[in-house]
Structure 1
Amino acid sequence: MDNAKSPLLGFAAFSGTGKTTLLTQLIPHLTKTGLNLGIIKQSHHNFEIDKPGKDSYRLRSAGANTVMLVSPYRRAIITEFNPTIEPKLDDQLKVLDQSYLDLILVEGFKREQFPKIELHRPILKHPLIYPNDPSVIAIASDQQITRPANLKLLDLNDIAMIADFIINRFIRISS
């Protein structure tokens, strides 16, 4: 990824495996160590973060391709893709202010090549991703699974274990 200025780690799994749930549990463990995190989440659905009647919605509806909404607390940039495009992770990294980030966690973009932890729940009967994705560096599962020796097995229910793996693998080596 040419535009990754901070370490990048993805979470890859089939829908319904618990990627967002894991991230919402993992983020507090990582931020309590003082890390500044960025998150990029890919959605395959049309989403709306603006609300009808709000000024930013009205400006975009009037034809603005990009609207930046800024307050003393946060900033949001809404960009219309016209025509619609399949987003590429490296393009999203280009517009993300990474100057203060220690680590960027990515949910989605599983077909792109960057370090990923695969989430796997055997009960869901989905195939493993790692055999077709050489960028998978670890598997987080709620059961023991057979895997190559070079892939670390993490307990999907042990958030502290996963956080320690991430810190040891991505933060210490990049310092």
Structure 2
Amino acid sequence: MRVYGVTGSKNCGKTGLMERLVTEIAARGLTVSTVKHAHHSTDVDQPGTDSFRHRAAGARQVMLASPNRWALMTELRGEAEPPLEALLAQLAPVDLVLIEGYKTGPHPKIEAHRAETGKALLAGDNPTIKAVAADSAVDTTLPRFDLNNTRAVADFILEDLALGPA
């Protein structure tokens, strides 16, 4: 599987860009999955549900299945967070996995940047960042795209991965 990341500072437009990229690339006939890394503790399950009760009782993994989707939740129970590579191995094969977060991971990335955050670009200190998608002019020697020009960003990612613009 090919992987490409979207990284950047907080409130810089990563999630919006990810959402638009998934829509754009899937519309081109490619299969896409995503990985979202959170630095804080998060829970997709709700207290009181049966699956939550199973986990609270001590289950290591709980699979929730329905006619529309299924999800597998794994409790680390004090173990270290698995590396990205181990998590990617859990995904079904697709043409492209887009990764939000994992700023220091070895995979190629595009940096989302909004001037209003007042944050400096990460690209200067991160050689895995291959381009910048920004809402204003930025000082970089990397390819630069308008943050809202999803088609151009998708073209760049697909060309960089030799998936070509589909």
- Which one-letter code corresponds to 1:164 in the other structure? D
Does structure 2 conserve the Cα–Cα contact (< 8 Å) formed by 1:102 and 1:171? no
How far residue 122 of structure 1 moved from its aligned partner, in angstroms, is 2.8
Superposed CA RMSD: 1.8
Counterparts in 2 of 1:5-154, with a 5 A limit?
A: 6-83=1-78, 85-98=80-93, 101-148=94-141, 151-154=142-145
5+ long unaligned stretches in structure 1: 1-5
- TM-score, normalised by the number of residues in structure 1: 0.86
**Contact map agreement 2:112 2:133 (CA 8 A) in 1:** yes
CA drift of 1:163 comes to: 1.8
The runs of 5 or more residues in structure 2 that have no matched partner are none
Give, as a single letter, the amino acid of the residue that structure 2 aligns with 1:88.
Answer: P
Asked if structure 1 preserves the Cα contact closer than 8 Å seen for 2:13 and 2:114, the reply is no
- CA deviation vs aligned residue, 1:53-89 (integer Å, no higher than 9, x gap): 3221121111101111123322201111121534421
Whether 2:156 is the aligned partner of 1:165: answer yes
Q: What is the rounded CA distance, in whole Å, between the counterparts of 1:56 and 1:86 in structure 2?
A: 21
The CA distance in 2 between the partners of 1:27 and 1:162, in whole Å, is 11
The range that moved more, 76-85 or 101-110, is 76-85
Partner amino acid for 2:36?
Answer: K
Runs of 4+ deviating beyond 3 Å: none
Query: Given the superposition, is the C-alpha separation of residues 155 and 55 from structure 1 closer, same or farther in structure 2, using an over 3 Å criterion?
Result: same
Tell me whether 29-38 or 162-171 shows the greater mean CA deviation: 162-171
Q: Which moved more, 1:11-20 or 1:156-165?
A: 156-165
Give aligned-pair identity as a percent: 37
Count of equivalent residues: 165
Deviates more, 1:35-44 or 1:68-77: 68-77
Could you tell me how far apart the structure 2 residues matched to 1:171 and 1:74 are?
31
